[in-house]
Structure 1
């Protein structure tokens, strides 16, 4: 199966610098066309904040709750988004490059044309999220949670997936053959049509209590 082609973020050539360090975010705030870099965004709680055509570069997010955040044409480059609360987010044409997303909460989010590249995302939560046109490449998402997520045109390429939870997430057409894991939270019905390597077959044999006869 060929990789789905993602629509990349649409960025102008020149981006003015935006300073948000002293900013107290308010509900439904919006930020358009700019670069936010080399800073910490701390202790913010607001809903439906929107970012459009924004690059975050080397930004640390701490104690952040931005439920229903809207991200369109956004790039996170070398950012730390560990434990941010982005539940029920709407995210389009966005890239996470070399980011820490440990424990990020995207429960119930809608994601379209998203790239996660070289990210550390162990314990990230994607429960009941709706994915379409998503690539995880060279990411560690150990113990991540995709419970009842909708996965359409999703690629997992060379990822660490050990102990990831996929119960209720249909894996038909999803290719896990280049990923590394020793166990997954998944049912037989969820696995129907999933693509795995020969070497991974023994993992699922033991997972469902079967014995492989030599």
Structure 2
């Protein structure tokens, strides 16, 4: 996997100019560097960021719905309670970012890489993810319901309470995830790749989804015992 880039590594680094604000709805930002800026309740819906760099920026609340991020680099950015629904991300790199309580449903992410990012209660329902990599990230209570994941990878990442109900996967690689805790949508893993060890961990949930009743024989009592960790079989 490719290491994360530094600011000086960006091909457009020498063209960056300091951001002089403010953010505006429908704004057009080209080769802008935003450094250490705090945005509280900013409204820049349908804006466009092209070849921009964000360093130690904080977004609290605010509406960025429909905004386009093309060829952007974000380092240490915090997004808290921000509306990022229907945003469009292309060739983006996010490093050490925190994303909490976000509405990101319907977003499109293509060739996006997350390095050491923390996701907490992020709504990615109906989103489209293509060639997206989560490297050494924590994804807690992330909702991929009805999303489309194509060639998505999770190397070194922990998935905790992640939901995949109704999702569609193609060549999605979960083998290198350090934790794979799925709250719902186990049947949506069709089209993904997992390890044998992960299969054993997920077996009780797969059995439950399939309506398979698992019994240990030879106990002498004739009592059915469900597999440890399962939610109960259906008779």
- TM norm structure 1: 0.87
Matched residue count:
204
Find the residue that maps to 1:68 and give its secondary structure.
Answer: coil
Q: Supply the distance in 2 between the matched residues of 1:213 and 1:178 (Cα, whole angstroms).
A: 31
2:172/2:193 contact within 8 Å kept: yes
Between Structure 1 and Structure 2, the one with more helix by share is 2
Q: Which has more radius of gyration?
A: 2
1:132 is displaced (CA, Å) by: 1.2
Q: Relative contact order, CA 8 A, sep 6+: which one is greater?
A: 1
1:121 aligned residue (119, 132, 143): 119
2:74 aligned residue (73, 76, 89): 76
1:65/1:85 contact within 8 Å kept: yes
Unpaired segments ≥5 residues, structure 2: 3-8, 218-235
Q: Supply the distance in 2 between the matched residues of 1:137 and 1:95 (Cα, whole angstroms).
A: 11
Q: Supply the distance in 2 between the matched residues of 1:44 and 1:123 (Cα, whole angstroms).
A: 21
Q: Supply the distance in 2 between the matched residues of 1:51 and 1:13 (Cα, whole angstroms).
A: 15
Task: Please say if 1:182 is aligned against 2:174.
Answer: no
Q: Supply the distance in 1 between the matched residues of 2:216 and 2:170 (Cα, whole angstroms).
A: 27
Q: Supply the distance in 2 between the matched residues of 1:166 and 1:183 (Cα, whole angstroms).
A: 8
1:11/1:53 contact within 8 Å kept: no
Q: Supply the distance in 2 between the matched residues of 1:143 and 1:18 (Cα, whole angstroms).
A: 34
| Corresponding residue number in structure 2 for 1:166 | 164
| Corresponding residue number in structure 2 for 1:110 | 108
User: CA offsets, 1:51-94, max 9 Å, x none?
Assistant: 11110001111122111011111111011112221100111111
Q: Are the structure 2 counterparts of residues 63 and 192 from structure 1 closer, same or farther at C-alpha, using a change threshold of 3 Å?
A: closer
2:100/2:121 contact within 8 Å kept: yes
Unpaired segments ≥5 residues, structure 1: none
Q: Supply the distance in 2 between the matched residues of 1:124 and 1:138 (Cα, whole angstroms).
A: 17
1:131 aligned residue (108, 129, 132): 129
1:185 is displaced (CA, Å) by: 1.4
Q: Supply the distance in 2 between the matched residues of 1:129 and 1:195 (Cα, whole angstroms).
A: 20
Find the residue that maps to 2:93 and give its secondary structure.
Answer: strand
2:151/2:173 contact within 8 Å kept: no
| Corresponding residue number in structure 2 for 1:90 | 88
Q: Supply the distance in 2 between the matched residues of 1:191 and 1:178 (Cα, whole angstroms).
A: 15
1:11 is displaced (CA, Å) by: 3.7
1:173 is displaced (CA, Å) by: 2.3
| Pairwise CA RMSD | 2.2
| Corresponding residue number in structure 2 for 1:12 | 12
